[in-house]
Each structure stands twice: as structure tokens, then as C-alpha cells.
């Protein structure tokens, strides 16, 4: 896990553990001291300059302080990874069995009768399983690091570059910032280090990653005391440190406003870094994927703990040789151990992540591949996803609906002079003004101040002054929010009071534009009287505005949106739109792309609902409009409370809370820093078609993991059932312990290529989740089918091929039984791969991929060859009559027919396969 992932994990955990932390006091004291220093003193302390650092200074400080990275769960050294590959419950079981086998077969054996074969096979299985797991996890870790390097965050820093005449602003990787760097911030930026503000303008910072509180606080370029103008002073903060008005902390993010600041601490020396050192020592929160693997693993271990003692007691009581019974019971335990599970899981996830990368999807956390496939609800924003990531300014109307160039002039003054993160509508306004050569005649206006956009006010105001110094506030924003602070309207030179009738008329005109598919902003102004002129304005100054006109924007739907929505719905993924935009416009866009809008739910309705009511409402609502960031998050949580697996696609600052709370947070490479940091998956192109492909790949990945689990669990159960029957009937064990071990080793090797198998199209049509109960049911249903033919093989070998006659004649016949059942057991176990990998008829309706065909065929060939090989005598095998293979073929045909019949009944009864 890199810095990207650590921020998401820490944001979930830090609120619970920060009060218990006893470290970081020195860092806190130094930061608090710096907050109260003069700027000159701070510059001296960190060796900074208002003209920026030179390249040599940066290089020297990187060497001294290291990269600007906090403690995180980065991949361990390869040798550590190799050792960790052996840390698995199934591997530990095998090692325990190897130790017991060493005691029974070597230490307690009579002189000259020590038996090393079983120990060698057990150790071989452990080494093969662990080495394969290590190789897959090492490769997947390296691949994940390469993929994540494709999505890097940068900061704007002032640097003195050799050859340049003056300092220049440049984008540098966050990890390369050093103390003393001058950085520039605007809306959407992550705070790249602990910084002291030099200049700021309406700067609001979200400190939720450190405090858990989502409401932003305002920061100022002032000396340390607590800001009295904060939106909220966080009483739950770990200390008063976070309330310092002129210090911003690494890991937080800019909600609105701009700032210039100097870096005072980087990496582990930041406040965030001191917390991160403690966070990474805590166990990471378990995902649904982790819980699923664990539940299945312990299901199989519990099954083994029940069945092995039964096999041991039955063989000991019937044969009278308790040491042999113990050895055989241990071999059965090995047969019940799915030691390849860790390798299969790692290989599938790595293969899925790499396949998704070819579809321009970067997976930051491998486990999210499976969560992607399990997603059954996709919540998405509207702009740039359902619509093109390009907005066109269609009209600039006065209040009578007539085109008025003066309205565009006012819009340009507002959009051009705002210094925050320009959204698509600002870009559209500036572009249209340039097309009509309006910008050139407004060059005499200069900016005085601004009140940046936020998602509560939903408006942006700029104060500008003409060449004579007369000041005017120009505001634009959402219709209702603008009317809330307006008191008059102006048509031509006539200014009238904005009474209820006029307000209703303006709302109706805006609604008419919305129904035509346009997004609407109101433009309003206020002339600042000369006796009220000032250098800085606050949001409280947005009063007594005069409504001047409308700007209407057209956001054309993407051509790919409609087929993408149909494809997602065909795969069981419901699409819901969570937007801050107007509900009327959103309904029109949804209809255009083939999404049934139903009755929209707006933010104020969401706010008024309690949790139970909202849980009911989200079940049937498709459009959620005019939502604040916290309301988006609340909708996501309500869907999760209903048992849905929720994906959220967003790229803005306002999407960060929902991205953090979704099961799968999805953002885009062009998104805001905070959105990319929070997301699990990054799309290199913003397309729903890419998501549909990712869903399919996630389900294929999960399906191949389920194949191994179901095949292994059912065949193991069948083998144990067969062993119990044989132990109660035959005068000797049906196979020696070494035979069971060899059989299991060959079978496991044939399973190695399952990650490269394909899934039937009908499997990926629906979301899939981990359900241990389904695996238990599958095991009980399918396992005994192979036992039926194991028993017929016992009878066949006893009666037709002489095992019974040899026993009665001289007490022999065991070799015949061992050889015959070894071959039949291995062939049936291997064929079960093809029988159970699909709900269809194998080989006829669905065929495995070539790697799986080759590996299973090779396993069958090796199994049939061993009784005829040079090793036969030492292994206790005997060559069987050629006619045995005719009987074997008939047995396998009957087995496949029965397995297909049981499979059909199972599907009809339970409605699904796996």
C-alpha cells in the first residue's frame, strides 16, 4: 500500500485511535511554535526564501530529510515476502502434519524401516504452494506499484531553475517537496505537507482525515491563535494544534479559496506522519473480500478437524494397527487441505488487475478487483459521465428571455477573475466571450477580491473595480441560492423590488430552461457605494444583490452512455445518479441516455429523512439531485445498509466523502487530488463502458477463485466419504498414506492454471459475493457423486481384478486395490475440474481454456503411468490388466452423467451454480 492507499485507511481509523496516541509531542510543539513565529523567523528556521529554492537546495534537503512520504504499508523486502508466504493456515497444517509424520515414520519406526517418502511429499507440497504464492504476490505487488505510479499527485511549487531569469511555478511530485518550498494552493488540492500560510484568500480546509469532522474550517495568514471566523471549531480534535489558524496539515484538502504557503515539515516529521506511524502498526480494517476468504478457509479447516478423527478411529478399530491408522488419517488431513488457495487467490487478483490495466483501469488495491465484480449498484455523477466532459454556453439572456451581450460581459467578469478551480461552466463562459471578442473591451476592469464557490452556498462572487476605482460585486450561481440573497431585479435601466411574484416568475423561467435540457445560472450584481469600499470582502457581503439575467448551458449526452447503462443493467448493476445539479436538468439527461428517472429525490428531502426512511427511499429512487457532499455519502451508506454492494464514481472535491464510504471508490486520472487519494480504482478515461468491462473482469476473477474452492471442497468431501466406506469394509486401507499424498500433489499441480480459465457468460451476468454456506451446501451435494463410483471401483477391483481372491488365498490383494483406486480417484478428481467449472455440459457446451486442458490431461497421464513406472514397486503399486482401463472408461462416463444430473437438479433447486 502506497501513500494513496494509506490516506484512505488512515481516514477510517484515525478518529478512533488518535486520542490514544502518546507520540508526536515534539512535532506538535515545533509546529505550534512555528505558527506563532513571524514569517521572517519561519523562513530562517526552514532555510526558505520567498523567491523559492534552487535545484541544489532541493537535492540536498531530499538527501537530509528523505522523500515527502508518511509511513505506509509498502511491500516488504522480497525475502520477507518469501517468509510471509509460508504464513497461511493450510501451510501451517501441512507443516504440522510433516512434523507428526517425522515422528511416526522415522523416529518411532523400527531400525531400517524409516519411511521418508511422506515427509518429502509434504515438504514438497509446502514448498511448491508457498513458492507459487510468493511469486504471484511478488509479481502482483510489483505490477500494482507500476500501475499506481501512473496516477501521481503533484503540487505547485516556486523553484529557481538554472538558466531561468526568475523563479518559476512548476508542478512537482508531492514526494519531492522539501522544507522551505513555497507552494500554491487552490480548491481541490491536497495539502502536500505541513505548511505555514503566507497569503490566503477565503481558504477553507477540510480536516476530516484528521478529525473525522466533515465541515471545513477557515485558515488565515495570521499568527497562531485560534481562528474566530472558522466555520466550526472542532471540539473532537486530538489537540488544539489543529485549530491553528495559519497552519495547514498534510493529508487535509482545500475545499475553496487560494493560498501561498511555506513548507515547514515533510514526511514522517509532519503531524500526519506522526499519526501514520501508529496507524500502520494497527491491523488494517478487514474488507468483505478478506472476511470471505477467512470464512471459507475456516469452514474447510473445521471440516477437516471433524472428519480426520473419525477416519483415525474407524481405521484403528477395524484394522487394529493404530500407528498405520494415524498415518492414514494424517494423509486424509493433507487431502482435505486446499494448500493452493493462497496462490490461486493471489494469481487471480493479479491477473484481474493486469487485465483491467489494459482497459485503462488502474487498481490501487488488489482486493478491490473482487469488490468491483460484487458491485450491484453504481452511483455516479452526471457531468462528464452521462454527459460529455464539455459544457457549451448556449444563451446569455436578460430577464425577458432576450439575448443580451451585457449579461455575458458580467459572466466573463465573474468567471475570468475567479482564482479557484475553474469548473466547466466557467471555462464555457470565458470561451464564448473570447469568441465574441467581448473580453477585449473589459480589460479596464481589475479584480479586488472574491468569495469562492462552495457546495453549501452554491455561488461564486467576484468584486471588480473599473478604471475609475468604482467597485461592483458580480455573482453567479444556482437559481434558488442566488434568489436567496437577491432583493431586486433589473431589466434595462429599470430596477424593481424582487417580490414574491417576480421571484416566482424567475423560478418558472429557469424551470422552462431546465425542461429544455439546459443548466441555468443566475447572474446578479451589487454596486459598492464609495463609503463601503474595502480591500477584502467576506461571504456576509453577498447581500442585496440585483438579478440581471440568465446563463444557460448545454451539456450534451455522451453517445456511449445509453449502451453502457444498458450493459451495466444487463449485468445486474443498477445505475443511480447522485448530483449537485438541478433535478429537472438531470431528469432530461437521464431520459436522453435511456435511464428511467422516476421521481427525483432532492437534497433537502434527504436531509429531512431519518435513516430508516432514507433506506426505504433509496431502494426505488434513481435520481438524487442538489445533494451536498455529506448527503451523497449518506445515500451511499443507506444503500449499503440495505445489503447492496455500492460503487461510487466521482472526480470532484464534493465526491470525496462518498468515495471513501463506498465499497468501491472509483475516480479518474483528471479528478481532484482528494478524489484520487480516496478512490480504490482510477479510470484513465471517464467512460461507463470501461466500468462495465471492469465489472465483468472482477466477476471472472472471483469466479475462478470460487471454482477452485468448490472443486476442492466437493472432491475432498467425496474422498473422505469414500475412505470412510472403504475403511469400514476393506481389510486394509483403500490406499496407503503415501498414495493419498502423491494423488493430492498431482491434483494440486493440475489446478495451477485455473486463474487462466474463462467464465461462462451467464456467470458474469449477476453480482457475486462470498457465501460460506453456499460452499458448504455445494460440497454436500456434489461430493458424494464421486463416492458412488469409488465404491463401484472397490467392488470391481475386489471381484473382477482379483483383489478379493488374493486376500483369501494369501492375505494379499492390497496392491491391486491401491493401484486401481489410485488411478480411478485421480482421474475422477481431475475430471471434476471440467464437470464443476461450468453449469453447462462440459466439452460439448463449455470447454476449458488450453492451459487447463493441458494441465488436467497431464495429471491423468501421470496418474495412469505411475503403476507401470520404474517407481511402482517402491510405491507399492502393481501393473493392472489392460482390461481395467475399459472398465475405468465406463466408470468415468457414468460418473460424468451422474454429476451432470445432480448438477442440473442443484441448479433447478437453488437457482444458481456456485
Catalytic residues: 381
CB-based contact 197:219 (threshold 8 Å): yes
Other beta carbons within 10 Å of 182: 23
Q: Give the residue from 589, 596, 602 showing the smallest Cα distance to 553.
A: 589
Q: Measured between alpha carbons, how far is 710 from 912 in angstroms, rounded to an integer?
A: 13
Cα distance between residue 621 and residue 610, in whole Å: 16
Cell (9 digits) for 473: 460585486
**Alpha helices (H) along 471-595:** 479-484, 500-515, 561-570, 583-592
**Residue with cell string 474566530:** 228
| DSSP-assigned letter for residue 20 | G
Identify the CA nearest to 628 among candidates 661, 667, 580.
580
Rounded distance between C-alpha atoms, residue 698 and residue 373, angstroms: 4
- The rounded distance, in Å, linking the Cα atoms of 914 and 837 is 9
**Rounded distance, CA 834 to CA 30, Å?**
66
The residues facing 182 across adjacent strands are 158, 262
Whether the CA torsion 542, 545, 548, 549 is positive or negative: it is positive
224 is written with which cell numbers? 497562531
CA distances from 652 to 157, 382, 579, 599, 615 (A): 22, 12, 11, 25, 25
The string of DSSP codes covering 334-389 is HHT--TTHHHHHHHHHHHHHHHHHTTTEEESSTTHHHHHHH--EEEE-STTTTB-S
CB 623 within 8 A of CB 581: no
| Crossing angle (nearest 10°) for helices 341-357 and 288-319 | 150
In this structure, the chain runs to a length of 914
DSSP 8-state secondary structure symbol assigned to residue 104: I
Using alpha carbons only, give the angle 580, 586, 588 rounded to the nearest 5 degrees.
165
Taking CA atoms, 364 is separated from 132, 140, 150, 276, 665, in Å, by 23, 11, 10, 19, 10
Q: Give the CA-trace dihedral at 363, 365, 371, 376, to 10 degrees.
A: -50
Alpha-carbon distances, residue 130 vs 86, 141, 340, 367 (angstroms): 6, 16, 8, 20
- CA atoms of 236 and 577, how far apart (whole Å): 33
Helix axes 271-279, 3-17, angle to 10 degrees: 80
Q: What is the DSSP string of 156-202?
A: EEEEE-TT-SS-EEEEEEGGG--TT-EEEE-TT-B--SEEEEEEEEE
Cβ atoms of 432 and 425 within 8 Å: the answer is: no
**Which run of H or of E encompasses 708?**
helix 688-729
Dig out the grid coordinates for 301 from the structure. 479447516
Residue 141 makes CB contacts below 8 A (sequence gap 6+) with 75, 81
Dihedral of alpha carbons 221, 227, 233, 234, sign = positive
Amino acid at each position: 500500500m502506497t501513500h494513496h492507499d494509506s490516506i484512505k485507511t488512515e481516514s477510517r481509523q484515525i478518529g478512533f485511535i488518535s486520542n490514544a496516541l502518546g507520540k508526536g509531542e515534539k512535532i506538535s510543539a515545533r509546529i505550534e511554535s512555528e505558527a506563532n513565529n513571524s514569517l521572517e523567523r519561519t523562513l530562517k528556521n526552514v532555510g526558505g526564501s520567498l523567491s523559492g529554492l534552487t535545484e541544489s537546495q532541493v537535492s540536498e534537503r531530499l538527501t537530509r530529510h528523505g522523500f515527502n512520504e508518511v509511513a505506509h504499508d509498502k511491500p516488504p523486502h522480497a525475502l520477507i515476502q518469501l517468509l510471509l508466504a509460508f504464513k497461511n493456515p493450510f501451510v501451517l497444517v501441512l507443516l504440522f502434519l510433516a512434523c507428526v509424520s517425522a515422528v511416526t515414520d522415522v523416529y518411532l519406526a523400527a531400525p531400517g524401516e524409516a519411511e521418508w517418502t511422506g515427509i518429502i511429499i509434504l515438504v514438497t507440497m509446502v514448498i511448491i504452494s508457498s513458492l507459487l504464492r510468493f511469486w504471484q504476490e511478488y509479481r502482483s505487488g510489483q505490477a500494482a506499484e507500476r500501475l499506481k505510479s501512473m496516477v501521481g499527485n503533484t503540487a505547485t511549487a516556486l523553484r529557481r531553475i538554472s538558466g531561468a531569469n526568475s523563479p518559476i511555478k512548476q508542478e512537482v511530485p508531492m514526494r519531492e517537496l522539501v522544507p522551505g518550498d513555497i507552494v500554491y494552493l487552490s480548491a481541490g488540492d491536497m495539502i502536500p505537507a505541513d505548511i505555514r500560510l503566507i497569503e490566503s484568500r477565503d481558504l477553507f480546509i477540510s480536516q476530516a482525515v484528521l478529525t473525522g469532522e466533515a465541515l471545513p474550517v477557515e485558515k488565515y495568514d495570521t499568527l497562531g491563535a485560534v481562528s474566530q471566523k472558522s466555520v466550526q471549531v472542532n471540539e473532537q480534535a486530538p489537540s488544539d494544534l489543529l485549530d491553528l489558524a495559519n497552519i495547514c496539515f498534510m493529508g487535509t484538502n482545500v475545499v475553496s479559496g487560494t493560498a501561498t504557503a511555506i513548507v515547514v515539515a515533510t514526511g514522517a516529521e509532519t503531524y500526519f506522519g506522526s499519526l501514520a506511524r501508529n496507524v500502520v502498526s494497527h491491523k488494517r480494517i478487514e474488507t468483505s473480500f478478506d472476511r470471505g476468504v477467512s470464512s471459507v478457509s475456516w469452514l474447510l479447516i473445521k471440516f477437516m478437524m471433524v472428519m480426520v478423527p473419525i477416519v483415525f478411529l474407524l481405521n484403528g478399530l477395524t484394522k487394529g494397527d493404530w500407528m498405520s491408522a494415524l498415518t492414514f488419517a494424517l494423509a486424509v488431513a493433507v487431502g482435505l487441505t486446499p494448500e493452493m488457495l493462497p496462490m490461486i487467490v493471489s494469481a487471480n487478483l493479479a491477473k484481474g488487475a493486469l487485465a483491467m490495466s489494459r482497459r485503462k483501469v488502474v487498481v490501487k488495491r488488489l482486493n478491490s478487483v473482487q469488490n468491483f465484480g460484487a458491485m450491484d449498484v453504481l452511483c455516479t455523477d452526471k457531468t462528464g459521465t452521462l454527459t460529455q466532459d464539455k459544457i457549451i454556453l448556449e444563451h446569455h439572456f436578460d430577464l425577458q428571455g432576450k439575448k443580451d451581450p451585457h449579461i455575458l460581459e458580467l459572466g466573463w467578469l465573474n468567471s475570468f477573475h475567479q482564482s479557484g478551480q475553474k469548473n466547466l461552466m466557467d471555462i464555457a463562459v470565458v470561451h464564448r466571450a473570447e469568441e465574441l471578442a467581448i473580453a477585449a473591451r473589459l480589460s479596464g476592469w481589475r479584480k479586488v477580491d472574491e468569495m469562492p464557490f462552495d457546495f453549501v452556498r452554491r455561488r461564486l462572487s467576484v468584486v471588480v473595480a473599473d478604471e475609475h476605482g468604482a467597485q461592483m460585486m458580480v455573482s453567479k450561481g444556482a437559481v434558488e441560492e442566488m434568489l436567496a440573497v437577491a432583493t431586486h431585479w433589473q431589466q434595462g435601466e429599470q430596477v424593481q423590488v424582487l417580490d414574491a411574484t417576480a421571484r416566482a416568475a424567475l423560478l418558472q423561467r429557469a424551470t422552462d430552461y431546465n425542461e429544455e435540457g439546459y443548466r441555468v445560472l443566475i447572474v446578479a450584481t451589487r454596486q459598492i457605494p464609495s463609503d463601503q469600499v474595502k480591500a477584502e470582502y467576506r461571504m456576509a457581503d453577498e447581500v442585496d444583490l440585483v438579478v440581471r439575467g440568465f446563463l444557460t448551458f448545454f451539456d450534451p449526452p455522451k453517445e456511449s452512455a445509453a449502451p453502457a447503462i444498458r450493459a451495466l443493467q444487463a449485468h445486474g448493476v443498477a445505475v443511480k445518479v447522485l448530483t449537485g445539479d438541478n433535478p429537472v436538468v438531470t431528469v432530461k439527461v437521464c431520459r436522453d441516455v435511456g435511464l428511467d428517472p422516476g421521481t427525483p429525490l432532492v437534497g433537502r428531502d434527504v436531509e429531512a429523512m431519518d435513516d430508516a426512511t432514507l433506506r426505504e427511499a433509496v431502494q426505488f429512487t434513481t435520481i438524487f439531485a442538489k445533494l451536498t457532499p455529506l448527503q451523497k455519502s449518506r445515500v451511499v451508506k443507506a444503500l449499503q445498509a440495505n445489503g447492496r454492494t455500492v460503487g461510487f464514481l466521482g472526480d470532484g472535491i464534493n465526491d470525496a466523502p462518498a468515495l471513501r464510504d463506498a465499497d468501491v471508490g472509483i475516480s479518474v486520472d483528471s479528478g481532484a487530488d482528494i478524489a484520487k487519494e480516496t478512490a480504490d480504482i482510477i479510470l484513465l478515461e471517464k467512460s461507463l463502458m470501461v466500468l462495465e468491462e471492469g465489472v465483468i473482469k472482477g466477476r471472472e476473477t472471483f469466479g475462478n477463485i470460487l471454482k477452485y474452492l468448490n472443486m476442492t471442497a466437493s472432491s475432498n468431501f467425496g474422498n473422505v466419504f469414500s475412505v470412510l466406506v472403504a475403511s469400514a469394509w476393506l481389510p486394509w486401507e483403500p490406499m496407503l498414506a503415501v498414495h493419498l499424498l502423491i494423488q493430492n500433489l498431482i491434483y494440486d499441480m493440475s489446478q495451477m492454471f485455473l486463474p487462466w480459465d474463462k467464465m461462462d457468460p451467464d456467470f458474469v451476468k449477476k453480482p457475486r459475493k462470498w457465501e460460506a454456506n453456499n460452499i458448504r451446501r455445494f460440497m454436500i451435494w456434489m461430493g458424494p457423486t464421486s463416492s458412488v463410483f469409488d465404491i463401484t471401483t472397490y467392488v470391481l477391483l475386489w471381484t473382477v481384478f482379483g483383489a478379493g481372491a488374493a486376500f483369501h488365498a494369501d492375505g494379499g490383494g492390497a496392491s491391486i486395490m491401491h493401484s486401481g483406486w489410485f488411478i480411478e480417484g485421480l482421474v475422477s478428481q481431475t475430471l471434476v475440474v471440467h464437470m464443476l467449472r461450468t453449469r453447462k455440459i462440459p466439452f460439448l457446451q463449455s470447454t476449458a481454456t488450453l492451459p487447463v486442458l493441458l494441465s488436467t490431461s497431464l495429471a491423468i497421464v501421470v496418474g495412469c503411468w505411475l503403476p507401470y513406472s520404474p517407481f511402482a514397486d517402491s510405491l507399492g503399486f502393481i501393473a493392472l490388466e489392460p482390461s481395467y482401463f475399459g472398465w475405468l472408461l465406463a466408470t468415468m462416463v457414468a460418473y460424468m452423467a451422474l454429476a451432470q444430473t445432480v448438477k442440473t437438479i442443484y441448479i433447478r433447486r437453488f437457482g444458481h451454480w456456485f
